Amino acid sequence: MIEINVKVNEKKLEILGSAIVSILQTAICKVRFEKADGTIREMKCTLKQDMLPPSKSPESHDNLTNINFLIIKVAEILANGDKAWRSFKVESLKSVEIVYE
């Protein structure tokens, strides 16, 4: 598990976001982040091509050069196996844990 405890500048957040996207493209991860209301959310998610929801795919994932690495859009894997698009801000991230590769 990678814990994020440091406040960094925007450039470093983009680098961190890019690294997290790379991990999510090859693995299923559990991410913990702080929501806008201050609560902590934990979510199992991925960007593996074969696990993305079939419709309503964010256009930014069709061309990875257009991804804003400060806000990451992911496919959340719900308890019943369904998937739904969600997003989180890199600056609100608390931890990333690889669950499955």
Q: What is the DSSP letter of 70?
A: T
Residue % of the chain over a pLDDT of 70: 80
CATH number for the domain whose boundaries are 2-100: 2.30.30
Amino acid at 86: R
Supply 44's token pair.
């199992």
pLDDT over 70 at 92, yes or no: yes
Residue type, 30: K
Token pair of 24, please? 């999510």
What integer pLDDT is reported at residue 38 of this predicted model? Answer: 95
Q: Give this prediction's pTM.
A: 0.81
Domain ranges in the chain are 2-100
Could you read off the pLDDT of 21-54 as tens digits, one per residue? 999 999 999 999 999 999 999 999 999 989 988 7
Q: How far is Cα 99 from Cα 101, in angstroms, rounded to an integer?
A: 7
3-state secondary structure of 1: coil
Measured in whole angstroms, the distance separating CA 35 from the mean position of its chain's CA atoms is 13
